[in-house]
Amino acid sequence: MKVRLSLHVKVMLSYFAVAGLVLLPTLVYVRWTLRQELQRSVRAQIESDVVRIRDRIAGATPEQRGETIRLLSRIYPGRLTVVDAGGTVLADSSRDAARMPDHGDRPEVRDALATGRGFAVRPSETLGEVLMYAAVAYPEGAHPEGVVRVSISTRQADATGEGAARFVVRIAAVSLSLAALLSLFAARRISRPLRRMADAARAFAAGDLGHPVPSVPDDELGELALALTDLAAQLRGRLRAAGADRASLLSLVEGLPLGVMLFGPEGGPVVVNGVAREICGLTPLREEARIAELRAEREVREAATRAACEGAPVEVAVPLPWDRDRVLAGLWIPLPDAGGGTSLALVLGRDPSGVRVGGAAEAWLDVPRT
């Protein structure tokens, strides 16, 4: 079953789709960007922390260094690890250093011993979760004695990022809701005058040419409204002109001494004068049906076709289907009209020998056509 959607619903859905196509990629991009920015922020923070801790350790005397490391391990909120140049763990804020394996193979430790600084994001073999590591050599110089390393779980950064992403999702939901409401308002503003113009067009088709066309702003809808107004005015003018022409034509043929039936380009009778009604015995109730029967007679039909094709009058004997004892004299006369088509006039006499192209029929040929 095909579902029919009204215009304002289609316009609203199109606006909503555009808003969704804009917001969804933006949401994905913002979420990814927030995650990257948070990771950079955390990295900058722990790199700054490890440098300060290294400076505190490097500034202590050899006798004070062990106590300083233990003190910093207890107060630093993240994980603090101190490794000597051989990879042995001297102190760790999360585990017993004596039981920890050699750390010389850790990538951040190797980089710090080689270049003075190291950084890595990897699963911790000791804690079993993903950590972000920053390491620096101490003391600063060409021959370090060891490495100070700090680390923080990426769960904190991920949680912060997810919280920011949820906030962005809520903002996107509110934006989409507002977009839906605004698009519905805009769609109704567009569809309302269109419905009124459709009502006006249906009224014109039903013959009510005075039906008002809604006034709309000066845009494409306004141009459509003006076109409908002009159409109604032209139709009213043409109908008035057609009515005047028909009245003039009827007055003219009523004055002819012969019977006249005027047929339009579609073949239906347009005008029938009183003489034609009299000699054919037509009554108001059966006039149209009997004219159709007369027109359908083979000789009459073929003569009409010849007159239309040759553009010249064609005489024909016209039998009356409802009175087979009577045969009238007939003359088909082609009449080009102003619309480019051809009308036909059937001039009738009272007997088969009474009609020729002359006299009243010739006068008929001189009638102006519209």
Which residue would you say has higher pLDDT here, 305 or 12?
A: 305
Instruction: Output the 3-class SS for 46-108.
Output: HHHHHHHHHHHHHHCCHHHHHHHHHHHHHHCCCEEEEEECCCCEEEECCCCHHHCCCCCCCHH
Provide the mean pLDDT of the chain. Answer: 78
How much is the pLDDT for 355? 46
Per-residue model confidence as pLDDT tens digits over 298-319: 999 999 999 988 888 899 999 9
Tell me the β-bridge partners of 349: 329
% of residues, the chain, pLDDT over 90: 11
What pLDDT sits at residue 212? Answer: 75
The residue ranking higher by pLDDT, 351 or 326, is 326
Is residue 274 within 8 Å of residue 250, measured between CB atoms? no
276 has pLDDT over 80: yes
- In angstroms, the first-to-last Cα distance of the chain is 50
Q: Does residue 112 surpass a pLDDT of 50? A: yes
Homologous superfamily of 255-365? PAS domain (3.30.450.20)
* pLDDT given for residue 220 in this prediction: 67
Q: For residue 240, is pLDDT > 70?
A: no
Question: Helix, strand, or coil here: 344?
Answer: strand
Average pLDDT of the segment spanning 81-94: 88
Q: What is the predicted pLDDT for the residue at 93?
A: 83
**What is the pLDDT, as a whole number, of residue 117?**
92
Which superfamily does 7-158 belong to? Answer: PAS domain (3.30.450.20)
- Give yes or no for a cis peptide into 139 (omega within 30° of 0): yes
| Ranges for all domains in the chain classified under CATH 3.30.450.20 | 7-158, 255-365
pLDDT score, position 359: 47
Average the pLDDT over 64-77 and give the result: 82
pLDDT digit string, tens, across residues 26-54: 777 777 787 778 788 888 988 999 999 88
